[in-house]
Amino acid sequence: MKKKIEFSLVYRDMWQSSGKYVPRVDQLKKIAPVIVEMGCFSRVETNGGAFEQVNLLYGENPNKAVREWVKPFNEAGIKTMMLERALNGLRMYPVPADVRRLMFKVKKAQGVDVARSFCGLNDPRNLELSIKYAKEAGMISQAALSITHSEVHTVEYYMELVDKLVEFGADEIGVKDMAGIGRPVMLGRLVKAIKDKYPHIIVHYHGHSGPGFAVASMLEVAKAGVDILDVAMEPLSWGTSHPDVITIQAMLKDAGFDVPEINMNAYMRARSLTQEFMDDFLIYFMDPKNKQLSSLLIGCGLPGGMMGSMMADLKGVHNAINMFLKNAGKKEMNEDELLVALFDEVRYVWPKLGNPPLVTPFSQYVKNIALMNILQLAQGKERYSTIDKNTWDMILGKTGKLPGTLAPEIVELVKANNLEFSTENPQSFYPDELDKYRKEMDENGWDYGQDDEELFEFAMHDRQYRDYKAGTAKAKFEEELEAAKQKSNIQVITKVIKAPEVIKEELIAKVKETNPNAKQVVAPVAGILIWELTVNEPSMPKPLGTRYQENETVCFITAYYGNEEVKTLYAGQLCAVVAQHGDKVNKGDIIAFVE
């Protein structure tokens, strides 16, 4: 009898791996019936991860999006799946236990069937509550192993974690090869070990195609007994996304597995609709390089899902790094050389930071340190001069136990900063907060929403939710989209493409006309504009409406001698942004306006 293998379409992750935004709810409702008609998917990854946050960023209600998006799959008997980050929930930093618990209740009520939970450090303490809360809410709990390649991350290492997850009551085990650097044979050995010891447990494999191993890995895990494979579809398959369902289906059919047939007419319609969504607005936030596979990723181990934000970060600091190199009489780097330098620096610092699997948010933390190290080294300074709070929490053990051992120089940094290591349960550092958010919602007259879903959204993404409620998120997104169109030479006025300086002059004139009381925030020195030094997420201005006190720091300028703070001379709220992250500015240039 042929071994049956099912396919799961990772529609959410396809977008996250390719760019900054996801389709709007009207677009998702349009494609859902076509995905159903394809007839080859037993599951669709609909939400989780960045999905809700991205909806808020462009001014849409994520709860409405989830409910309407999952409904056609619920009706067709196709399971819907979300991705959540254990201690970090749906965001980049830790979440109180009461908010985590509410998340599963809300998502189950909205129609989501499966919760894939992963801890970027593979700390079972962080996954225990996810499993408990998912099952308590009536969801299928899939506990995932964060796969990476190092001397630490062996089959035996992962099986110790599997034993804990099964003991906690996980219904399924996910093998989350988020960077696609898991070696195929090792992954096959791991899946076989899981199935031999726990034959009743469903094993689900997820792998990005960026480094080029994924197809071979899928064949190896199939031979080892895997039950479900994550796949993508054109025009977003391959590159930093995932292998295409057509290729995987053909390979497995030839290898003698029982795999579902694909309705190719429906596939082509879904393919066309996805391209339509890209042409609408999403293409403006996708780097063309994200469509390419790169074996450079094998060495550094960074996941494809963060390539979009990483390329934006590189562009933001590229000019500043070259300015420092030029001033030091050293050769400047082109973008490819800078990318290789970053990959090399990640490879260098990763084991020194205890080998955290490079998955959100820890991949960002390691990348941040590497990027800031390159910037510091270009200035002739020491490594590790800039480490943000979230990264310190990882180093100190406040977000979980690191798999490897910290290098002596990192331990010395901890002592030099008068910090202390922790072995406490990470959740204990983040007390319950729902009552605080209920109080603020009551004061604002905001409804908690059906099944408390608005309360959950506020507690999970408070800053973005406030911007969404105020309308500033939508205004900011529309401004960002217009700027992206201009930058892509799409906006054509009387057949003449406007130069960036012309666009800035027009924006300044418009602000002065419509907001005569607006006060200028100007560059005190010449250099490269840096909106956020931590580079935790794609560096960008604070949302319009953000309030500043007099003499408060708005952003930074990297000058030839280092970073200079840019402060507002007036109290007020941000009403317009003129200069973008990475722009060259001269002394006296207008950067933004407050009123």
Q: Which domains does the chain have, with CATH numbers?
A: 6-290 (3.20.20.70), 291-428 (1.10.472), 471-594 (2.40.50.100)
Contact 40, 245 (CB under 8 A): yes
* The predicted structure's pLDDT at residue 536: 45
Give the integer Cα–Cα distance in Å for 357 and 360: 9
527-530 and 584-585: which strand pairing? antiparallel
For residue 284, is pLDDT > 70? yes
* Angle ∠(274,31,47) on CA atoms, nearest 5: 90
Write phi, then psi, for 288 (nearest 5 degrees). -55, -30
CB neighbourhood size of 80 (10 A): 22
Assigned token pair, 66 = 């989830």
**Inter-CA distances, 538 with 19, 241, 348, 530, 533, Å:** 11, 19, 23, 11, 11
Assigned token pair, 540 = 């960008």
Distance of CA 202 to the CA centre of its chain: 26
Range with the poorest average pLDDT among 124-133, 171-180, 497-506: 497-506
Assigned token pair, 292 = 């390419």
CA proximity to 328, closest of 376, 373, 387: 376
Q: Give Rg (Cα) of the chain.
A: 24
500 or 142: whose pLDDT is higher? 142
For residue 188, is pLDDT > 60? yes
**Inter-CA distances, 251 with 14, 244, 373, Å:** 21, 11, 43
Range with the poorest average pLDDT among 113-117, 231-235, 304-308, 504-508: 304-308
Please give the full DSSP string across 258-281, using - where no structure is assigned. B-----HHHHHHHHHHHHHHHHHT
Q: Which pLDDT band holds residue 321 (cuts at 50, 70, 90)?
A: confident
* The predicted structure's pLDDT at residue 490: 40
Q: Mention every residue, 6+ apart, whose C-beta is less than 8 A from residue 587.
A: 523, 524, 525, 526
Q: Which of 306-320, 399-413, 573-587 has the highest mean pLDDT?
A: 399-413
By the 10 Å C-beta count (0-12 exposed, 13-18 middle, 19+ buried), 324 is classed as buried
Q: Which pLDDT band holds residue 534 (cuts at 50, 70, 90)?
A: low
By the 10 Å C-beta count (0-12 exposed, 13-18 middle, 19+ buried), 469 is classed as middle
C-alpha dihedral, 529 to 533 to 538 to 543, nearest 10°:
-70
Chain segment 159-181, per-residue pLDDT in tens: 999 999 999 999 999 999 988 99
Assigned token pair, 162 = 């599997």
CA proximity to 46, closest of 60, 58, 62: 62
Assigned token pair, 371 = 């990027």
Assigned token pair, 48 = 């989780």
For residue 498, is pLDDT > 80? no
Q: Which pLDDT band holds residue 311 (cuts at 50, 70, 90)?
A: low
Chain segment 267-283, per-residue pLDDT in tens: 999 999 999 999 999 99
Give the integer Cα–Cα distance in Å for 381 and 181: 32
Quick one: how many helices (H) and strands (E) in the chain? 22, 18
Q: What proportions of the chain, in percent to the nearest 5, are helix, strand and coil?
A: 50, 15, 35
Chain segment 550-595, per-residue pLDDT in tens: 889 999 888 766 678 899 988 888 988 888 887 888 878 899 999 8
Chain segment 189-221, per-residue pLDDT in tens: 999 999 999 999 999 999 999 899 999 999 999
* The predicted structure's pLDDT at residue 501: 60
Q: Which pLDDT band holds residue 66 (cuts at 50, 70, 90)?
A: very high
For residue 533, is pLDDT > 80? no
Collapsing DSSP to helix, strand or coil, 425 comes out as coil
CA proximity to 577, closest of 470, 474, 489, 476: 476
Which residue shows structure tokens 């402060």?
567
Give the integer Cα–Cα distance in Å for 418 and 125: 27
CA proximity to 247, closest of 266, 262, 226: 262
For residue 80, the one-letter residue type is T
pLDDT over 70 percentage in the chain: 93
228-231 and 6-9: which strand pairing? parallel
The whole-model pTM stands at 0.80
| Residue-averaged pLDDT of the chain | 90
CB neighbourhood size of 11 (10 A): 25
* Angle ∠(578,581,582) on CA atoms, nearest 5: 115
DSSP structure class, residue 4: B
Q: What is the mean pLDDT of residues 51-55?
A: 93
Give the integer Cα–Cα distance in Å for 13 and 137: 24
CB neighbourhood size of 110 (10 A): 25
Q: Mention every residue, 6+ apart, whose C-beta is less than 8 A from residue 111.
A: 66, 67, 70, 71, 74, 80
Half-sphere exposure of residue 122, counting CA atoms within 13 Å on the CB side? 27
Write phi, then psi, for 198 (nearest 5 degrees). -130, 70
Range with the poorest average pLDDT among 45-54, 107-116, 371-380, 539-548: 539-548
Cis amide leading into 235 (omega within 30): yes
Contact 340, 296 (CB under 8 A): yes
